[in-house]
């Protein structure tokens, strides 16, 4: 029985897709069109009361919140595919540290940039140029800390690729492509090398090939 | 060798303190005065480059981000004290789901309320009444979903107390006490019973007794 992932066209669900490919877990996807408001349909709200994607179903077990789903599949299939959690409790601790940094410090400004730059015209509200400038400044400060960290270890949690790195893929791809802000990555030597490394993984290339962004800018 | 926790007067570090008490792990605390800007001292930034609390040190192993620290100690001392992670990979998945809900949906509005209501005058900026109203509305919607969830299971992740519940303690205590918004909890029957249950745990009462809020309102 293959697992299901809802909302494959969007960034947060792509975290789950790339994780499942790394873990060699078969899955199928269920489209949810956010631009048509399908995430607010009563049937969908039964699965995910907050009305966001992704949701996953593993048989009759339902889970949401992308980073929770990552941890679940990485743990359930610990010994299959790429190990994404570290080998010791200390390595796992550092994976959690940097996964939380992604969630708490990296994602808020890059998510705001995504909504403002990529989705505002689609959703029918004007771009807030001040908010874009402020979010880019916040993201730049976070990237400065990443530059320092990545000058000391190849990946965020240490010398192994993990959920902490993987979780950055979808929104950073938007930043580099659709948002035209690749300079934020390229102006930082170690961040740039890290980005080349993680974004060229076959798992991520496969996600990009199979599931296009929700629209072309 | 006891573990160290930096910043015990503040809400996020208290997540770690209550976890360590539940896990029966001995610790000592290191004060960090945010109102004096001690979290921006160069020595502190060497431990935590983002300049926030908590930080923990377990021997020469350093970790930050409160929810990462919770997972680390809950995993390291899995078989000691209260089990806070669930017994199966499916239970752990639900703990992660609701811990992410706390981090992504519950914490942002309650954190904004805390800063606006409790800290604005201390930090020398005016209260933004619109932002307070908007944050209270967001938090109310989240609490409505909690009410529904807690009508079906005693705790957020199921019928066992876990990190998902524990993580709500410090800021919800501010909401009920210093912010005078206990009605948000009491107007929802199942949320109210859940709050009585988790806030009366000896571990949390001990944290409140040992570490006062940073100031009286």
The answer to the question of residue B215 being in a domain is no
The pLDDT of residue A184: 98
The pLDDT of residue B208: 96
CATH (domain of B174) = 1.20.1050.10
B36-44 average pLDDT score = 94
H/E run at residue B57: strand B55-58
Claim to verify: residue B72 and residue B109 sit in the same structural domain: no
**Which residue range is the domain that position B26 belongs to?**
3-81
Total beta-carbon pairs less than 8 A apart between chain A and chain B: 77
Claim to verify: residue B73 and residue B105 sit in the same structural domain: no
The answer to the question of residue A208 being in a domain is no
Q: What proportion of chain A, given as a percentage, has pLDDT over 70?
A: 98
For residue range A89-137, what is the model confidence (pLDDT) as tens digits? 999 999 999 999 999 999 999 999 999 999 999 889 999 999 999 999 9
Picking from A65, A89, A90, the nearest residue to B100 by CB comes out as A65
The pLDDT of residue A108: 98
For residue range A133-174, what is the model confidence (pLDDT) as tens digits? 999 999 999 999 999 999 999 999 999 999 999 999 999 999
Claim to verify: residue B72 and residue B176 sit in the same structural domain: no
The answer to the question of residue A12 being in a domain is yes
Picking from A65, A92, A145, the nearest residue to B101 by CB comes out as A65
| Subunit contact A96:B72, Cβ cutoff 8 A | yes
pLDDT band at B165 (very low <50, low <70, confident <90, very high): very high
Q: What proportion of chain B, given as a percentage, has pLDDT over 90?
A: 94
Domain end point (choices B54, B81, B108): B81
Q: Which of B19, B42, B71 to mutate to test the interface with A (most CBs of A within 10 A)?
A: B71
Claim to verify: residue A24 and residue A96 sit in the same structural domain: no
The pLDDT of residue B217: 46
- Mind telling me how many Å the CA of A65 is from chain B's nearest CA? 6
Mention every residue, 6+ apart, whose C-beta is less than 8 A from residue B103. A100, A103, A104, B67, B167
Domain end point (choices A81, A108, A142): A81
Domain end point (choices B22, B54, B81): B81
The answer to the question of residue A210 being in a domain is no
The pLDDT of residue A217: 46
Claim to verify: residue B74 and residue B94 sit in the same structural domain: no
What does pLDDT average to over chain B? 96
CA distance A9 to A30: 10
Q: Is the pLDDT of residue B216 over 70?
A: no
For residue range B66-82, what is the model confidence (pLDDT) as tens digits? 999 999 999 999 999 99
Claim to verify: residue B61 and residue B14 sit in the same structural domain: yes
ipTM value: 0.96
Claim to verify: residue A121 and residue A190 sit in the same structural domain: yes
Claim to verify: residue B109 and residue B186 sit in the same structural domain: yes
Neighbours of B36 (CB within 10 A): 9
Residue B157, classed as helix, strand or coil, is: coil
Residue A155, classed as helix, strand or coil, is: strand
What does pLDDT average to over chain A? 96
- What is the count of structural domains for chain A? 2
The answer to the question of residue B29 being in a domain is yes
pLDDT band at A215 (very low <50, low <70, confident <90, very high): low
The answer to the question of residue B184 being in a domain is yes
| Subunit contact A89:B76, Cβ cutoff 8 A | yes
Phi, psi of B167, deg, nearest 5: -65, -20
For residue range A23-60, what is the model confidence (pLDDT) as tens digits? 999 999 999 999 899 999 999 999 999 999 999 999 99
The pLDDT of residue B215: 63
| Subunit contact A96:B65, Cβ cutoff 8 A | yes
Claim to verify: residue B102 and residue B65 sit in the same structural domain: no
DSSP letters, B93-122, are HHHHHHHHHIIIIIHHHHHHHIIIIIIHHH
């Amino acid at each position: 029985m293959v697992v299901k992932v809802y909302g494959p066209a969007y960034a947060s669900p792509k975290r789950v897709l790339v994780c499942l490919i790394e873990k060699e877990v078969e899955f199928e996807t269920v489209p949810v069109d956010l631009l048509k408001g399908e995430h607010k349909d009563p049937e969908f709200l039964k699965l995910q009361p907050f009305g966001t994607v992704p949701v996953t179903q593993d048989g009759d077990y339902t889970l949401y919140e992308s980073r929770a789903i990552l941890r679940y599949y990485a743990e359930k299939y610990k010994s299959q595919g790429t190990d994404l959690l570290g080998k010791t409790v200390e390595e796992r601790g550092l994976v959690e540290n940097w996964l939380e940094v992604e969630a708490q410090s990296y994602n808020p400004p890059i998510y705001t940039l995504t909504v403002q730059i990529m989705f505002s015209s689609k959703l029918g509200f004007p771009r807030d140029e001040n908010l874009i400038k402020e979010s880019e400044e916040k993201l730049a400060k976070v990237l400065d800390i990443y530059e320092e960290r990545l000058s000391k270890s190849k990946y965020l949690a240490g010398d192994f690729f993990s959920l902490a790195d993987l979780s950055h893929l979808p929104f950073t791809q938007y930043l580099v492509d659709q948002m035209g802000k690749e300079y934020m990555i390229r102006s930082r030597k170690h961040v740039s090398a890290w980005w080349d490394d993680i974004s060229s993984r076959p798992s991520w290339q496969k996600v990009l090939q199979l599931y296009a962004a929700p629209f072309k800018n």
